[in-house]
Structure 1
């Protein structure tokens, strides 16, 4: 069953009789965008002030957490054998909470990827070099007729209606 093409667009609350009315509407859109931007700027300024105020209040607590956390870690490292029952557990429980030691998974860091790839290939370690195959979408757009019968591949193109009042950088996409 084929999908029906929709011809009608959604109903709108306002209609225009002539070009001048549309021009006035675009001018109103521009004014509304500028008002919205001013409100957004004021909101961001207030949020920044609130954030700064609360971060300043939290600063002494962060210092206490850091200092006490380091002291707890030093003591626990010094008593790790007893706390972990000679390494049989990774967690030590206290009345107020617990501490634990977690081994992070191994991680590979590569600096100078090209040089590393060359060295791996030179040493016969190609199994550590990944070759990625992927569809070249820009080439397909250059020759759409060549791939039109391939299942799973489709080319689509949409259209946006854009209103851009003068004196604004923001576009309203409908």
Structure 2
């Protein structure tokens, strides 16, 4: 199994911070723990990258074999389609699986969206292909919170002071 990673022995934190020196010590402990966390994360990232590389190396020949065999089957299927798909069938069952055809999902491809939009706007009969979206402008409400809170169903959350600790990151990887 892998190595167990443990941090340096820590003395228990005082129940209350009473002096600036005690506060500085606690911030220092937080910073040291953050450095350890970032090192652990970097180690994890390396392990994940190595696992992904090993997977891709092992998967590449399998993907190539699947692609080659699929093309072999496609050649057989295309050459014998009329006999394989008699009676309006879309697939044929074999002893090891099924081969067949299925209709793919249609999609619209637009080369130049701005030019198309202009064309649709100019032709009254084609305007039905334009979508107009109406939605609440939350940024505008937040910009005027005193007015916004007078509107039924609107409240402003947050905007309070939030405590933070930002240790000096000494010795980061």
- What TM-score range do you get, normalising by the shorter chain? 0.7 to 0.9
What stretches of structure 1 of length at least 5 have no aligned partner? 1-11, 169-174
Find runs of 4+ consecutive structure 1 residues off by over 3 angstroms. Answer: none
Could you state the TM-score of these two structures normalised by the residue count of structure 1? 0.80
Among 160, 163, 166, the residue aligned to 2:168: 166
Per mean C-alpha deviation after superposition, the further-off stretch among 12-21 and 71-80 is 12-21
**Is the CA contact (8 Å cut-off) linking 2:31 and 2:167 kept in structure 1?**
yes
- Displacement of 1:122: 1.4
Change (3 A) 1:114 1:13: farther
Per mean C-alpha deviation after superposition, the further-off stretch among 65-74 and 40-49 is 40-49
SS of the residue 1:92 aligns to: strand
Partner Cα separation in structure 2 for residue 127 and residue 89 of structure 1: 38
**Larger relative contact order (Cα-Cα within 8 Å, sequence gap ≥ 6):** 2
CA RMSD of aligned residues (A): 2.2
SS of the residue 2:86 aligns to: coil
- Displacement of 1:100: 2.6
- Displacement of 1:45: 1.1
- Listed as ranges, the matches of 1:76-91 within 5 Å are 76-86=77-87, 88-91=88-91
Q: How many equivalent residue pairs? A: 157
